[in-house]
Chain A
Amino acid sequence: MLERVLWPRGRRTVTARPVAARLDTLQGKTVGQLWDDLFRGDEIFPMLESALAARFPGVKFVGYRTFGSTHGAEEQQVLRDLPARMRELGVDAVISGMAC
């Protein structure tokens, strides 16, 4: 016996969008750090800072503590506040960690 069967998935509520425009250089730019308080971000961000500062003179960093944890109980509030905080702090780009 043949049967006709239905698609079991739900409709996607988002369509693919482009990401934000990229920077031409990190030189002189302000980079925000977002951290979920996991997987050695506290060690990795300083390593990245040193390497990027050596390569891009004038690059500045806004530390992850300024924004709060992006995981756990604070996540939703931190992400709601993020656009305004980035504007206030003049953030040009962000590095977000850690997916491990």
Chain B
Amino acid sequence: MLRASAAAEEAGVPSVSLTCEGFIGQAATTATGLGLPSLPVAVVPGHVDVQTVEELRANVLAVTVEGVVQGLTAPPEKASDIEEPEPGEVVFEGTYDEINRFYYENGWSDGLPIVPPTAARVQEFLKHAGREADEELGVLLPDKRSATIRTVAINGVMAGCRPEYMPVLVALIEAMADPRYGVEHSGNTPGAETLIIVNGPVIRRLGFNYQQGALRDGFQANTAIGRFWRLYLRNVAGFLPHKTDKGTFGNTWRVVLAENEDALRQMGWTTIAQDAGAAPGESAVTISRFTGGSVLASVFGNAPEQMIPYLADGLTRLVAWEVIFTVGMSVGAQRPLLVLSPILAQTLARGGLSKQDVQRRLFEQARIPASKFERYIGEWTNLAPGRPSLKDLVRRGRAAPIFAQSDDPERLVPVVEKAEDIMIAVSGDPLRTNAYVFAHNGILGFPVTKPIRLPAR
């Protein structure tokens, strides 16, 4: 919303941004990141979603109208820059404890101890990048800071990574900078968190855990690279809680998920990276933001027809309000992830199913009544304003035709637009019959896959 105001200002047209009371701080830091620190806002008291029409009108008339008038007519404050160090400049000298205190007090660490990023440690990381330290990988919102190989190395050191992880870290920031991912949305209020999935020979080479406890901390590559992701969001993109990161609850970073490629090969199933176009044998990272997840414990059955209904039910339970990314806000952008333990995937494969067959069966069975779908987007939430029916949305081109195949409000509709939107990974305890479902945050963290380029020896 402030990005729209900034676009108007850049074109020479004054703007004012309507901002709920709880978002004034985010507006100020976002405006600074956009290079327009004087961007005016007009405050709407409280939060609009819990106000009656009369309360909303009273608040708008008492407060917001004057804010709009002032924002469009009053002379703005003078804009000024805050002086900052150069990237990679020495900013402090001290003991381990003093350094940790200094970084924490400046908002550069997550509260856990960091490995002090000295020039020598950073240089070790740069040796493993095989690229120039000042090479720019992109410019990241909301701070519009330059993402470079050097800042990747510094934050990698801080997170507790090993130098040989550098190619993975670089690929991750290339993915973060890809416009399809939408890093600018990383501070939105549902507080979705990115899951990193790693594929290819790099899994064994760097010692990623892909077996029991696949999403548990305790394995350096999985844990430290997950931490690196959020440190980079903090220090370079500029997402800080109480400022630009408005996750209502949020959660800490997710441990990196590595797929069990031995099991996948044995079954003839494709990996997540291959599904996104990576060549067999190519190492790659895939990033995607998920709003939350839950385990589907003790899947029972020795054939697909016994197992699929429970897995499909899990999808419909997890993908709830998130169907606003299936229709409405963005069409066909809901990409839930089902993680199958190897024994579950192998049982499905033994029943004659490819991964694509499983996707099709889940698509056919993970369905909810149209009336419930409409409640998620236009009654229990106001994410589709005006309470449009699915038929309305199809008519407006904001939903695929499959959502309006009859007038029956109890007809069953899918929670994603098409079968291949359901991502399936294989990992976790090879001999336990559990699965995990993640609901997805749509275009506000769309899946992006990037190859991991190892430097020439």
Contact = CB atoms under 8 A, between A and B. Distances in A.
Interface of A: 1-26, 31-32, 34, 36-44, 47-48, 51-52, 55, 70-73, 75-76, 78-79, 82-83, 86-87, 91-100
A17 B73 contact: no
Interface string B68-103: 110011111011110011111111111110010011
Interface of B: 1-5, 7-20, 22-23, 26-27, 32-42, 44, 47-49, 53, 56-57, 60-61, 64-65, 68-69, 72-76, 78-81, 84-96, 99, 102-103, 108, 116-119, 122, 139-140, 143-148, 151, 154-155, 158, 179, 231, 235-236, 329-331, 333, 382-383, 385-386, 443
Contacts of A25: 73
Contacts of A40: 48-49, 56, 382, 385
B151 A10 contact: yes
Contact of A12 (B40, B80, B145, B383): B145
Contact of B4 (A7, A36, A73): A36
A12 B88 contact: no
18 contacts: A3-B96, A5-B99, A10-B140, A13-B146, A15-B81, A16-B36, A20-B15, A42-B386, A44-B60, A52-B65, A52-B68, A73-B331, A82-B4, A91-B13, A93-B13, A94-B16, A96-B15, A98-B48
Nearest to A24: B73
Query: Max chain B CB contacts within 10 Å: which of A34, A36, A92, A99?
Result: A99
Given A19-B76, A38-B385, A79 B144 contact: no
Given A5-B117, A18-B38, A93-B15, A26 B443 contact: no
Nearest to B42: A95
Contacts of B331: 73
Given A22-B76, A38-B383, A99-B23, A16 B37 contact: yes
B209 to A, nearest CB: 27
B1 A71 contact: yes
Contacts of B382: 38-40
B1 A99 contact: yes
Contact of B154 (A6, A82, A86): A6
A37 B381 CA distance: 13
A51 B1 contact: no
Nearest to A75: B3
A39 to B, nearest CB: 5
B236 A73 contact: no
Contact of B99 (A3, A36, A83): A3
B90 A83 contact: no
B92 to A, nearest CB: 5
A10 B87 contact: yes
Given A86-B11, A98-B48, A99-B19, 12 more contacts: A4-B118, A5-B93, A7-B154, A9-B236, A10-B151, A11-B87, A20-B9, A36-B1, A47-B57, A48-B65, A91-B13, A99-B2
A3 B4 contact: no
B93 A2 contact: yes
A24 to B, nearest CB: 7
B93 A3 contact: yes
A7 B8 contact: no
A1 B116 CA distance: 12
B4 A47 contact: no
A99 B386 contact: no
Contacts of B26: 99
B78 A18 contact: yes
A10 B234 CA distance: 11
Query: Max chain B CB contacts within 10 Å: which of A5, A24, A37, A93?
Result: A5
Contacts of A17: 35-36, 79
A75 B92 CA distance: 41
Contacts of B27: 99
Contacts of B33: 14
B231 to A, nearest CB: 8
B7 A47 contact: no
Contacts of A22: 14, 72-76
A22 to B, nearest CB: 5
Contact of A44 (B47, B48, B81): B48
A17 B34 CA distance: 9
Nearest to B151: A10
A40 B387 CA distance: 12
A48 B65 CA distance: 6
B2 to A, nearest CB: 7
Nearest to B19: A99
Given A10-B235, A73-B331, A16 B118 contact: no
Query: Max chain B CB contacts within 10 Å: which of A34, A40, A48?
Result: A40
Contact of B89 (A6, A14, A42): A6
Contact of A6 (B14, B41, B91, B140): B91
A15 B35 contact: yes
